[in-house]
Amino acid sequence: MEPTEFTYDAFVSYATKDAAVVQRIVNRLKDEGLRIWLASRDLLPGDDVVREIQDALLQSHALIVVLSANGVGSEWIELELNTFIALDPSGRQRRLIPVIIDDWEVPGYLLRYKRVDLRTQSDEEFSFLVLACEAGLPKAAHSPADEAKAVGVSSKGPLPRHDSLGPSRVLGRHIHAVTSLALLGGDTQVLSGSEDGTMRIWPLRDGASSLALGGHEAGILSVAVSAKTGRILSASRDWTVRMWDPVAGLPLGVFRGHDDVVSALAVLPPGHSALSGSWDGTVQVWDICSGTAGLALHGHEGAVVAVATSADGERAFSGSVDRTIREWDTVTGECIKTFVGHKTTVWSIALTPDAKWMLSSSEDGSLKLWDLSVGKEVDTVRAHAGAVKCISLSGDGSRVASASLDRTVKVWDVRNLRCLRVAEHEGGVMSVATGGRSPEVLISACDCAVLKWKLGAT
């Protein structure tokens, strides 16, 4: 796959006190023909700062993090860094470039990245920075005609014309980006998890936040609900899974066992066990009642960023940056099957209630339909112009909603992967949840906001 086209070659994250040094670096990068986003220049009075930063990061190929004593503890640098990594955990499409400008010690979590040393502003090191910004960029841009041809074409031919949804209602907002959604309370409430490290429960009726849950030491990447026990689960960058009582708002346990960020969650029916996927490349089975670790599923060659289960709880599925989906026996831990077909990171997986069909979405904007009885791909569609971060099936399995960084959510007919509805957003969409059998209600996460859409008949 060719790399995604970006508006900016690099976004520069820095401390305000380093503005003079940073400006000199940026001027040299611009002289080399690079397109740079810089807050001091590109933010205008009256701009929504968080939204503009998130939009710019979405459109940037590289993030230059300027490391100095002045930047220690900066919440803005932390926000920009976490948001950028969340866009591409594997680093296949985007590049994180630490740049040292003084003698401050490099933080441990950035030691994995090769750094550029500009303490002496040497020409050699600056050349390395230019090369790093350019590495992996597309050699030629697609024409509008090419893009129109690529988006919305399936193996069955062009998709029919779809209907656009009307305006949404904002249920509420987090401080930082919303990363995950789950319906609870008989589809009367929605649970949201955020990079700010908190979860909130929003009644769909009026949107007033009834409960806020905090306790993680870093951003939350996934949330899940056990319909059987009523408990909710959260997975975080702090390497833990936590369990909560949503009625009392009390923590019930912390599950430790992964060796890296925990990025995906699913509850195994009937609701006494859960699955978690991690950047350590494993899937972990947990006993929700006791809080103890069960089977650890090994086999992926990269971070696990998606998990799902069959309706009977006997099979688990995981998607990874290694571009594969694996099917597991939840009793023995055996890998039953490996699904190969995606060309980039598999971000989300969903199974129909009868477990006959599986849908998956990817970094390259594709949506695939698989026949589980034979373990083969039966259809694919270039569903979006950007990464599809999340898919959600309606209660009866007849419709699937896809959320993308191209600023849209689309509703599809599962039988033929034909687009039925489009909900346009002001920023990239990280998550989506659907309620009702048709579905009738769609909830999306755009930037810091949780939005409600009324679908009506599809």
CATH number of the domain encompassing residue 312: 2.130.10.10
Instruction: Say if 149 falls within a structural domain.
Output: no
Given a contact cutoff of 8 angstroms between Cβ atoms, the answer to whether 287 and 313 are in contact is no
Of 283, 238, 234, the closest CA to residue 260 belongs to 238
DSSP type of residue 170: E
| Tokens read off for 297 | 């599923």
Residue 317 lies in a domain: yes
User: Is 344 inside a domain boundary?
Assistant: yes
The per-residue pLDDT string of the chain (458 residues; one tens digit each, 9 = 90 and over) reads 334 578 889 999 999 999 989 998 998 888 778 889 999 888 888 888 988 898 899 989 999 999 999 988 888 998 899 889 888 877 778 899 999 999 887 777 787 788 899 988 877 788 778 878 877 654 333 333 333 333 444 444 433 345 566 656 888 889 888 999 999 877 788 999 998 899 999 988 765 656 789 889 988 999 999 988 889 999 998 999 999 998 888 889 999 999 999 999 999 988 889 999 999 999 999 998 888 888 999 999 999 999 999 989 999 999 999 999 999 999 999 999 999 999 989 999 999 999 999 999 998 899 999 999 999 999 999 999 888 999 999 988 999 999 998 889 999 999 999 999 999 888 889 999 997 655 667 899 888 889 998 775 55
Domain boundary among 88, 116, 134: 134
Q: Are 158 and 35 in contact (CB under 8 A)?
A: no
Domain contains 152 = no
Strand pairing category for 60-67 and 8-13: parallel
Let me know whether 348 and 438 are in one domain: yes
Does some domain include residue 432? Answer: yes
Q: Are residues 20 and 164 in the same domain?
A: no
Tell whether 387 is covered by a domain.
Answer: yes
Choose among 78, 114, 121, 74: nearest CA to 98.
114
Q: Indicate whether 151 belongs to any domain.
A: no
Question: Residues 339, 323: contact at Cβ < 8 Å?
Answer: no
Q: Mark whether 129 and 195 lie in a shared domain.
A: no
Q: 358: domain range? A: 160-454
C-alpha dist (Å) from residue 292 to 120, 284, 336 = 52, 10, 24
Looking at the fold, whether 375 and 412 belong to one and the same domain comes out as yes
* 319 lies in the same domain as 430: yes
Measured between its terminal Cα atoms, the distance across the chain in Å is: 33
> Are residues 182 and 122 part of one domain?
no
Question: Residue 141 falls within a domain, yes or no?
Answer: no
Cα–Cα dist 294/418, whole Å:
40
| Cβ–Cβ under 8 Å, residues 193 and 221 | yes
pTM (two decimals): 0.69
- Residue (of 322, 320, 390, 337) closest to 361 by Cα position: 390
Q: What is the CATH number of the domain that holds 15?
A: 3.40.50.10140
- 242 & 384 share domain: yes
Tokens coding 328 = 């597991």
